[in-house]
């Protein structure tokens, strides 16, 4: 489906948001399962996972996986309860209790009560709950587990009937540590019900915390203090249009851009179960974003509007599952960084010094980087002057200079900054605080400006030419893979601009022994030819068109030409017999090579 940017309206829903963040609806669908058996859902990696508690005939429910185009997968075995959520490692967790029987929650070291599913592989692991204070009432939903339940993690469940505590279940290596379960008291106390969720979260300072949200009260944010939880309620004000937080489940806490947020259901009446939601920065006067509801009651009267947040590298995904109504995915992110225009003021490309005249630089891809090619004609005793601005004036009088003064920036210097040969190709600092003009010798240059880090790099544009030639071995065969290096015989800036002193320009010969080597047009060069197994050769550039390399006598034959290595030598006498004595009369010495060729010479006593 097409992505929609939310700025003023979304279909029939009204929106409000802060300019500090962008909210984008990625996709939404009303192709959802019936609400009665699919009462909780959770978003992960752009998809929804919903536990369908309908018995599939094998005493199990099903985990339904929904994407942008509807139902994608129904292969995961689920539970006969509504509860489904995730752990912080990205596993899907499902309750194996039987809805709505509170007595089906068993707290021992053997009975599987939590199913952990790897959504990538489909691998299923069932875990018991271990010890802890038994729940005396229904528990229909699950919150987000801490860590990785298959390696090292924790699961939190509310104590029922309401008593202001929780059960904390520890898992190590896929096993529950039942003896360590306990029920810490909370301060201030928060009453629980069968729809209470307890999410493991991380705040903007990187601290582990617990987000506690029950249908009938305010959300709480708790931190561990030894064996107890301590924290405070999060008081969420009404939206500017009067939309208020509803007593529904589905709220979540997340940290983004160094701040803490709550996403929660909202509507026109506190006890109405709508499909609206809002995002609130903790401590702000009002929520910065809200979507007004489109329905006046939840499907089948079910009291839920599930919302959860997933922080990604480039923003936050907000998932909303309104059972029996819709699924929607939103993305919250920082707005694109504003990138101002940058102009070069001064004597470049035939421009003159004027507050209303400037060469506009080309903006790079992403970030605040800018590029420009400039020509300096040396109009001031061989030099030109320039600086930068992000604004141009409309006139050329003194008022124009006053207008652009706050936007001008240049070199960090007490006066005009002389650009010397040593400064070509290195970062030069920029400043708005009394930035000075750059004084640069005549020539052609490329400028790269980094406005984020206030750095300037100046590179000299050098005309080039090509040295070409061919390399052969002693037998006239083309030599491939010869390293050809041209070294300048002088150190003038025009010659060395493309290399640091002592470095040359290098290429290699092709299968025909040919090379083309680009070098700065000015200056003279010596050219060196190198290949393993051959003697190096260095010649003046004028002698580099045709070069012959001699085999290195200190290199083994197999390294020079393995195909011509000697395989055997034998002597044949005048009678055609193989002789053991090369000097018994007149003999012929026959040499056989590894490539199959032979040579013969007469050996005379």
Same domain (yes/no): 22, 130 = yes
Residue 145, domain member (yes or no): yes
* Residues 6+ away with beta carbon under 8 Å from 279: 23, 261, 262, 263, 287, 288, 289, 290, 318, 332
β-strands 438-441, 417-418 pairing: parallel
Same domain (yes/no): 262, 281 = yes
> What one-character DSSP code corresponds to residue 541?
G
Same domain (yes/no): 427, 540 = no
CATH number of domain containing 438: 2.60.40.3620
Residue 529, domain member (yes or no): yes
Token pair of 111, please?
A: 């009975």
Kind plus residue range of the DSSP H or E element containing 211: strand 208-213
C-beta separation of 153 from 119 below 8 A: no
C-beta separation of 370 from 363 below 8 A: yes
pLDDT at residue 506 in the model = 93
C-beta separation of 600 from 589 below 8 A: yes
Same domain (yes/no): 519, 389 = no
* Residues 6+ away with beta carbon under 8 Å from 486: 467, 504, 505, 506, 517, 519, 525, 526, 527, 541
How far is it, in rounded angstroms, from Cα 98 to Cα 101?
6
Of 333, 367, 396, the residue that ends a domain is 333
The sheet with strand 505-508 has its strands ordered as: 505-508, 483-488, 525-530, 537-540
pLDDT at residue 553 in the model = 82
Structural domain boundaries enclosing 517:
464-555
* Residues 6+ away with beta carbon under 8 Å from 584: 573, 605
The beta strand positions in 412-480, using DSSP E, are: 417-418, 427-431, 438-441, 443-450, 455-460, 464-473
* Residues 6+ away with beta carbon under 8 Å from 482: 471, 508, 509, 513, 515, 529, 530, 531, 534, 549
How far is it, in rounded angstroms, from Cα 513 to Cα 509?
5
Ramachandran region, residue 491 (left: φ > 0; alpha: ψ -120 to 50; beta: rest): alpha
Same domain (yes/no): 241, 361 = no
User: What's the number of domains the chain is made of?
Assistant: 4
CATH number of domain containing 187: 2.120.10.30
Q: Please confirm whether the linkage preceding 188 is cis (ω < 30° from 0).
A: yes
Same domain (yes/no): 208, 108 = yes
313-340 CB burial, b ≥16 within 10 A, e <16 = eebbbbbbbbbbbbbbbbbbbeeeeebe
Same domain (yes/no): 425, 534 = no
pLDDT at residue 552 in the model = 86
* Residues 6+ away with beta carbon under 8 Å from 405: none
Same domain (yes/no): 541, 404 = no
Residue 338, domain member (yes or no): no
pLDDT at residue 399 in the model = 73
CATH number of domain containing 517: 2.60.40.1120
Of 315, 333, 351, the residue that ends a domain is 333
Please give, one letter per residue, the 3-state secondary structure of 13-61.
EEEECCCCCEEEEEEEECCCCCCCCCCCEEEECCEEEEEECCCCCCCCE
Token pair of 389, please?
A: 């601005």
How far is it, in rounded angstroms, from Cα 43 to Cα 23?
17
pLDDT at residue 240 in the model = 60
Residue 74, domain member (yes or no): yes
C-beta separation of 192 from 160 below 8 A: yes
Helix (H, G, I), strand (E, B), or coil: what is residue 317?
strand
Same domain (yes/no): 248, 391 = no
Residue 21, domain member (yes or no): yes
Residue 536, domain member (yes or no): yes
How far is it, in rounded angstroms, from Cα 268 to Cα 242?
7
Residue 412, domain member (yes or no): yes
Same domain (yes/no): 171, 286 = yes
pLDDT at residue 11 in the model = 28
Q: How far is CA 378 from CA 260, 371, 385, in A?
A: 57, 21, 9
pTM over 0.85: no
Q: Which residues of the chain have pLDDT under 50?
A: 1-18, 492-502, 556-560, 583, 586, 601, 604-605
Same domain (yes/no): 189, 289 = yes
pLDDT at residue 98 in the model = 82
Same domain (yes/no): 50, 72 = yes
Of 436, 460, 484, the residue that ends a domain is 460
Residue listed under structure tokens 């209303």: 356
How far is it, in rounded angstroms, from Cα 426 to Cα 444?
17
């Amino acid at each position: 489906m097409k992505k929609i940017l939310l700025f003023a309206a979304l279909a029939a829903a009204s929106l409000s948001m802060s300019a500090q963040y962008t909210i984008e609806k990625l996709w939404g669908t009303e192709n959802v399962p019936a609400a009665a058996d699919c009462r909780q859902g959770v978003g992960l990696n752009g998809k929804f996972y919903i536990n369908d508690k309908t018995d599939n005939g094998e005493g199990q429910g099903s985990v339904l996986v929904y994407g942008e185009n509807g139902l994608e997968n129904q292969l995961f075995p689920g539970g006969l309860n509504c509860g489904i959520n995730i752990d912080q490692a990205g596993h899907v967790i499902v309750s194996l209790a039987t809805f709505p029987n509170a007595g089906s929650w068993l707290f021992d070291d053997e009975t599987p009560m939590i199913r952990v599913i790897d959504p990538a592989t489909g691998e299923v692991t069932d875990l018991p709950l271990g010890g802890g204070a038994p729940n005396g009432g229904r528990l229909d939903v699950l919150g987000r587990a801490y860590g990785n339940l298959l390696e090292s993690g924790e699961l939190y469940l509310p104590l029922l009937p309401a008593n202001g505590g929780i059960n904390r279940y520890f898992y190590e290596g896929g096993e529950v540590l039942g003896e360590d379960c306990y029920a810490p008291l909370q301060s201030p106390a928060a009453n629980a019900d069968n729809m209470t969720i307890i999410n493991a979260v991380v705040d903007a300072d990187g601290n582990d915390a617990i987000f506690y949200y029950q249908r009938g009260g305010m959300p709480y944010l708790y931190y561990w203090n030894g064996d107890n939880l301590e924290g405070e309620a999060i008081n969420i004000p009404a939206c500017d249009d009067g939309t208020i937080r509803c007593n529904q489940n589905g709220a979540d806490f997340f940290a983004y851009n160094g701040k803490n947020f709550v996403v929660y259901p909202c509507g026109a009446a506190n006890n109405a179960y709508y499909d609206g939601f809002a995002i609130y920065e903790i401590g702000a006067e009002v929520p910065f974003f809200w979507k007004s509801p489109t329905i006046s009651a939840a499907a089948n009267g079910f009291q839920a509007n599930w919302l959860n947040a997933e922080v990604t590298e480039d923003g936050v995904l907000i998932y909303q599952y309104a059972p029996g109504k819709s699924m929607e995915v939103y993305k919250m992110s920082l707005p694109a960084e504003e990138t101002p225009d940058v102009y070069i003021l001064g004597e470049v490309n035939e421009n003159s010094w004027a507050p209303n005249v400037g060469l506009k630089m080309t903006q790079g891809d992403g970030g605040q980087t800018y590029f420009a090619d400039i020509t300096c004609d040396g109009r001031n005793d061989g030099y030109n002057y320039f600086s930068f601005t992000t604004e141009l004036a409309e006139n050329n009088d003194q008022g124009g200079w006053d207008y652009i003064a706050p936007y001008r920036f240049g070199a960090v210097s007490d006066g005009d900054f002389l650009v010397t040969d040593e400064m070509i190709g290195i970062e030069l600092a920029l400043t708005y605080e009394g930035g000075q003009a750059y004084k640069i010798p005549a020539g052609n240059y490329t400028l790269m400006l980094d406005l984020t880090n206030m750095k300037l790099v100046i590179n000299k544009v050098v005309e080039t030419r090509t040295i070409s030639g061919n390399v052969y071995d002693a037998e006239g065969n083309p030599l491939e893979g010869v390293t050809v290096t041209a070294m300048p015989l002088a150190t003038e800036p025009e010659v060395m601009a493309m290399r640091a002193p002592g470095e040359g320009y290098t290429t290699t010969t092709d299968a025909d022994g040919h090379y083309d080597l680009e070098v700065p047009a000015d200056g003279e060069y010596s050219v060196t030819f190198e290949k393993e197994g051959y003697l190096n050769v260095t010649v003046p550039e004028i002698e580099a068109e045709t070069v012959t390399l001699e085999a290195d006598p200190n290199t083994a034959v197999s390294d020079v030409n393995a195909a011509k290595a000697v395989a055997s030598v034998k002597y044949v006498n005048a009678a055609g017999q193989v002789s053991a004595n090369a000097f018994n009369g007149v003999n012929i010495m026959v040499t056989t090579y590894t490539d199959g060729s032979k040579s013969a010479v007469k050996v005379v006593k």
